[in-house]
Chain A
Amino acid sequence: MNVNDIQIVLTASLVTLACVIPGCFLVLRRMTMFGDAISHAVLPGIVAAFLFSGSLNGIAMIIGASLTGLLVTLLIELIQKKMRISPDASIGITYTFLFAIGVIMVSLLSNQTDLDQECVLYGDITLVPLDLGMWGIPRQIWIASILDIVLIITLLVGYRGLWVSTFDPSFAAATGIATVFWHYLLMGMVSLSTVTAFESVGAIMVIALLTGPAATAALFARSLPRMLVIASISGIISCILGYILATILDASIAGAIAVMNGLLFFISLLIRKFIRN
């Protein structure tokens, strides 16, 4: 275990935490496919921000991703409500459309820049220790920490609104809570966590971090705060175990972490069945 290992596991854990916060609400709202949609559809936004700012970090990328994240949410709802097309179909067509535009943009750019399809689809967490930021701490750790803090503050401040509009939207609306606002706030949070996770695990695997720990926690949690805590712990355990697995097999770290998230879920499912019987 050297500094590099610790930095990689720490990055993965911070990224997981960023995904767990909106992930729990997505699972409870039965909207995880929205998370998948956003995590893919932000790609053109990220590429556009990259073109605009010339680098893969910083505010431009966060703004670009958040805007496209909200755009895809808006598009999905628009198609669904105004055109009367089923939710799954409108999600399917919208996000693949935007994601594909992003893929084309990346492939056009890959000759000139260090942005390539491989990195966009799968991420590359092994590069984390190479890209140092302030005080010799990797840039990714900085970004993930700051976004974690933003997400945690949003969660604490918006907790009541998020929970009531998730549990009972019509009651919430009847008491004057702006459920539409909380919906878009949640989607904004998903966009933020997607940006955080993008570089390290790539667009495809984000959904594993959004769903896995939250689904595991939903099996045991007796309250929403506990669900958030259990999901965070389960997600971080998956990061550690996944990293060990990847080192042993000399395989993709992001892949191994996603596998561990799945494994933890299935084991939890068995344990719960065992307890109930």
Chain B
Amino acid sequence: MIINVQDPSLEAHNLTVIYHRKPVLWNIDFSLPKGEIIGIMGPNGAGKSTLIKAILELAPLNSGYSKIFGKSLNEVRKKVSYIPQRQTIDWDFPASVSDVVMMGRYPSLGLFKRITKSDREIVRLALEQVNMTEYANRQISQLSGGQQQRVFLARALAQQADLYLLDEPFVGVDASTEAAIMQLLRTMKNEGKTIVVVHHDLHTAAEYFNWLVLINASLIASGPTEKVFTDELLRNTYSGKLTVLSQVGDVMREQNFPVREK
């Protein structure tokens, strides 16, 4: 089940990444629609994060290429915002919340241009959107996991991109932050932004995403959630080992979408 789209936001062709002779990604080929919230799912070690890194040229490609809005990454870099996993950062770093969010302005400022009033305004608005205004001058070492994730999201918002790539944004985050982030992502989607989320929680997948990409080193499926979120495809993705997971799939189909009503 691999559905391709016309005029894609993001397309990958034959992406292959091999680390130490072990294929992490194998011949991944898909195209994603614009203006949707897209989930990339698969078991641990399936290469979900590597896929995003390969698209951003942060992981060395052994073969294949990807295009964003029909162009190469270098042509559209300013339109792309990457939110790495929160845990890859040293949060004891001497920096304030607004220092980090201001970083989102650097792609348009370059390394030397001065920060202007409008940059500060954009940062202020971004913090407001993630409900972190009162934390603007707070040390980042004093933040909770959920607040850290909000800061990362604010930094991405300050970039004013069209495509957002989030790597496991809900890991170690409290339920209220998760709900707030999801609400924000939906608002962004309504503004026409494309959002790609690496995610591992099957319970929430059907509720969160309009489009799903299932990978396990190679591409298992890519398409609208209602077509892809099936027992069989999930079983293929998770190698059928985890029976619990296929039961989750059953439950979800029985109850119809969305599973979790507010």
Contacts and interface: CB of A to CB of B under 8 A. Distances in A.
B94 A223 contact: yes
Most buried by A among B92, B103, B155, B159: B103
B120 interface: no
B20 to A, nearest CB: 7
Interface in A173-209: 173-177
A212 to B, nearest CB: 17
Contacts, number: 67
B89 A167 contact: yes
Interface stretch (A12-20, A50-58, A157-165): A157-165
A174 B111 contact: no
Interface string A100-137: 00000000000000000000000000000000000000
Interface residues of A, number: 24
A226 B99 CA distance: 13
A227 interface: yes
Interface string B27-61: 00000000000000000000000000100111000
Interface string A208-227: 00000000001001111011
Given A170-B82, A171-B82, A171-B103, A28 B90 contact: yes
A170 B84 contact: yes
Given A160-B109, A164-B106, A167-B95, 15 more contacts: A84-B20, A160-B106, A161-B111, A164-B103, A167-B93, A167-B103, A168-B88, A168-B103, A170-B84, A171-B82, A175-B82, A221-B94, A222-B96, A224-B95, A227-B94
Nearest to B113: A160
Contacts of B96: 222-223
A175 B107 contact: yes
Given A164-B103, A176-B74, A177-B111, A171 B93 contact: no
24 contacts: A28-B93, A30-B90, A158-B111, A160-B111, A167-B90, A167-B93, A167-B100, A167-B103, A168-B89, A170-B53, A170-B82, A170-B84, A170-B88, A171-B103, A173-B58, A174-B56, A174-B77, A174-B82, A175-B82, A175-B107, A176-B74, A176-B77, A218-B94, A227-B94
A175 B77 contact: yes
Nearest to B52: A174
A221 B74 CA distance: 36
Contacts of A161: 111
A218 B92 CA distance: 9
Contacts of B93: 28, 167
Contact of B94 (A30, A158, A174, A222): A222
A274 B80 CA distance: 45
Contacts of B159: 175
B175 to A, nearest CB: 26
Pairs of residues from A and B, 6 with the lowest C-beta to C-beta distance, nearest first: A174-B82, A221-B94, A175-B107, A170-B84, A160-B111, A174-B56
Contacts of A176: 74, 77, 107
Contact of A174 (B80, B92, B139): B80
Contact of B99 (A158, A177, A223, A227): A223
A161 B112 CA distance: 9
A200 B88 CA distance: 39
B101 to A, nearest CB: 12
